[in-house]
């Protein structure tokens, strides 16, 4: 799947709002900016850490999809911009820490075209064992069975690399607009970037040797 091979548009785009906790500002924004979005409630991250991946798997390959996560504040231009864009993998970046560059490899506001989904077998994501190689899961959330909520984006990123897709199309960069508002600040959290491939993972401070914080190459 060539990285520069574009569609005409993504007019079949469907918006999915994945949520577990109540974030009123985010929910108000999704009602305004994507009134037709499907609200997908996932199990609590402690009780059902794999439920996010299960809900994505149930919807994968049906139509072009836009992920919006519960702590992202959607702006009114996001959905029209994504829908008219022919790129297969698009994002609006968002900050994860006040002292770091905005994130572009998460799922907070990410579009996958139907064609990309057809090329990326989600069963491979679902079966991916994150104890293999540099994706080692240290959270003990059953990632040896299927992705936990912390690592689903990392595993999808790995599969996108296998398709030759190294970077998403960053709409906020192209439009010279600010990143989206993110209702979490992980400035003191354990977010790490693998220098070898730009794959970030959630882990424990004790396993941080050889890793650095930040988003390499982010504009």
For 109-136, how does the pLDDT look when each residue is reduced to its tens digit (9 = 90+)?
999 999 999 999 888 777 765 444 444 4
How confident is the model at residue 8, as a pLDDT?
Answer: 66
Counting as low any pLDDT under 50, the low residues of the chain are 3, 130-136, 141, 189-219
User: Mutual orientation of helices 51-59 and 152-162 as an angle, nearest 10°?
Assistant: 40
Flag whether 105 is in a domain.
yes
Q: Please return the burial class of 80, using the count of CB atoms within 10 Å of its CB with bins 0-12, 13-18 and 19+.
A: exposed
Cβ atoms < 10 Å from Cβ of 36: 7
Flag whether 64 is in a domain.
yes
Number of structural domains in the chain:
1
How confident is the model at residue 132, as a pLDDT?
Answer: 43
How far is it, in rounded angstroms, from Cα 78 to Cα 134? 33
Q: Pseudo-torsion of CA 66, 97, 216, 54, nearest 10°?
A: -40
Range of the domain at 92: 14-125+148-188
How far is it, in rounded angstroms, from Cα 58 to Cα 41? 13
Flag whether 81 is in a domain.
yes
Identify the CATH number of the domain in which residue 43 sits: 3.90.550.10
How confident is the model at residue 150, as a pLDDT?
Answer: 74
Flag whether 1 is in a domain.
no
How confident is the model at residue 137, as a pLDDT?
Answer: 52
How confident is the model at residue 201, as a pLDDT?
Answer: 40
């Amino acid at each position: 799947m060539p990285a520069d091979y574009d569609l005409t548009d993504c007019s079949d785009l469907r918006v999915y709002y994945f949520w577990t906790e109540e974030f009123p500002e985010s929910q108000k924004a999704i009602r305004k900016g994507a009134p037709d979005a499907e609200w997908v409630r996932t199990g609590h991250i402690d009780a059902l850490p794999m439920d996010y991946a299960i809900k994505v798997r149930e919807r994968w390959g049906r139509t072009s999809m836009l992920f919006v996560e519960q702590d992202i504040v959607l702006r009114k231009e996001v959905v029209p911009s994504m829908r008219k864009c022919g790129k297969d993998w698009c994002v609006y970046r968002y900050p994860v820490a006040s002292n770091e560059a905005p994130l572009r490899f998460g799922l907070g506001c990410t579009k996958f075209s139907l064609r990309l989904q057809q090329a990326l077998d989600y069963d491979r994501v679902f079966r991916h064992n994150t104890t293999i190689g540099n994706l080692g899961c240290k959270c003990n959330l059953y990632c040896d069975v299927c992705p936990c909520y912390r690592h689903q984006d990392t595993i999808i990123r790995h599969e996108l690399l296998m398709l030759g897709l190294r970077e998403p199309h960053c709409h906020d960069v192209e439009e010279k607009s600010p990143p989206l508002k993110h209702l979490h600040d992980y400035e003191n959290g354990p977010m790490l970037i693998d220098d070898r491939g730009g794959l970030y993972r959630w882990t424990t401070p004790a396993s941080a040797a050889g890793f650095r914080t930040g988003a390499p190459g982010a504009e």
